[in-house]
């Protein structure tokens, strides 16, 4: 029986937070797991913060709203400040240190700072820091099989943007090795 993962991803609107969550949810779909994906919605999305909850489980998902994540991805300072204290004992936090300059250790949780936005720009993958963070989270938590995660990219990138598939996969690799 695979583990249950309660994941929160948070950052600015426009960073692809919801898409990153969808990639993780799609990996669960491919593996036939029970899952849910719930976005924050409303005025806070316009230039403000965006976040989403993803649950992967073997049991039907109760509340899709994750209030005590065991995995957290944060891509801006306000999100780190807002969610750091919600992470459960033994949880993992991936922070994009390019945009989260002020981190502090979280008691009982593992903090992984990677300069995802900077890594994306250096690799010519502007806008894919979100997927770099997903790659890092995968390396730390292993929420699905490796091949599944790459297949999830195939599933999530819309046909009109098929050219982006390889770049997304490249971003995953960067995150996994960061």
Partner 1 sequence: MSEKVLMKGNEALAESAIRAGCRFFFGYPITPQTELAAYMSKRMPKEGGTYLQAESEIAAINMVYGASAAGARVMTSSSSPGISLKTEGISYMIGADLPGVIINVQRGGPGLGGIQPSQSDYWQATRALGHGDGQIIVLAPSTVQEMADLAYGAFDLADTYRTPVMILADGMLGQMMEPVVLPERRDELPEKPWATTGHKGQRPHNVVNSLYLTADALEKLNVERFERYEVIKREEQRAECVMTEDADIVLVAFGASARIARSAVVHAREKGIKAGLIRPITLWPFPTDAIEATIGTAKAYLSVEMNMGQMVDDVRLVVNGRKPVEFYGRTGGVIPTPAEVLAKIEEMNAKGGE
CB of 54 to partner 1, least distance (A): 9
User: Which spans in the chain are helix H?
Assistant: 17-30, 77-83, 116-122, 129-141, 146-156, 164-177
> C-beta of 61: minimal distance to partner 1 in Å?
7
Q: Does 42 bind partner 1 (CB under 8 A)?
A: yes
Distance CA 69, CA 67 (A): 6
| CA–CA separation, 49 and 152 (whole Å) | 25
Task: Give yes or no for residue 35 binding partner 1 (CB under 8 A).
Answer: yes
Write the interaction track for partner 1 spanning residues 14-33; mark x where CB under 8 A is met and - where it is not: --------x--xx--x--x-
Three-state secondary structure call for residue 56: strand
* Nearest-angstrom CA–CA distance, 116 and 105: 19
* Interface with partner 1: number of residues (CB under 8 A): 20
3-class secondary-structure state, position 21: helix
Contact track, partner 1, 49-88, x by CB under 8 A: -----------xxxxxx-x---------------------
Is 136 an interacting residue with respect to partner 1 (CB under 8 A)? Answer: no
Apex CA 79: angle with CA 155 and CA 17, to 5°? Answer: 15
Residue 122 makes contact with partner 1 by CB under 8 A: no
We find the least distance from the C-beta atom of residue 120 to partner 1, in angstroms, to be: 25
Single out the residue of 15, 36, 168, 170 in contact with partner 1 (rule: CB under 8 A): 36
Q: Are 143 and 137 in contact (CB under 8 A)?
A: yes
- For partner 1, the binding residues (CB under 8 A) are 22, 25-26, 29, 32, 35-39, 41-43, 60-65, 67
């Amino acid at each position: 029986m695979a583990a249950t993962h309660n994941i929160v991803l948070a950052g600015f609107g426009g960073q692809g937070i919801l898409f990153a969550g969808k990639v993780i949810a799609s990996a669960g779909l491919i593996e036939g797991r029970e899952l849910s994906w719930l976005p924050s919605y409303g005025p806070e999305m316009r230039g403000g913060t965006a976040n989403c909850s993803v649950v992967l489980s073997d049991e039907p998902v109760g509340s899709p709203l994750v209030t005590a994540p065991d995995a957290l991805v944060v891509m801006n300072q306000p999100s780190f400040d807002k969610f750091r204290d919600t992470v459960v004992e033994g949880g993992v936090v991936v922070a994009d240190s390019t945009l989260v300059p002020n981190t502090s250790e979280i008691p009982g949780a593992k903090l992984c700072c990677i300069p995802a936005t900077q890594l994306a720009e250096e690799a010519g993958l502007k806008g894919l820091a979100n997927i770099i963070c997903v790659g890092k989270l995968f390396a730390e938590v292993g929420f699905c099989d490796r091949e599944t995660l790459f297949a999830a990219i195939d599933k999530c990138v819309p046909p009109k943007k098929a050219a982006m598939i390889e770049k997304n996969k490249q971003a995953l690799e960067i995150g996994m090795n960061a």
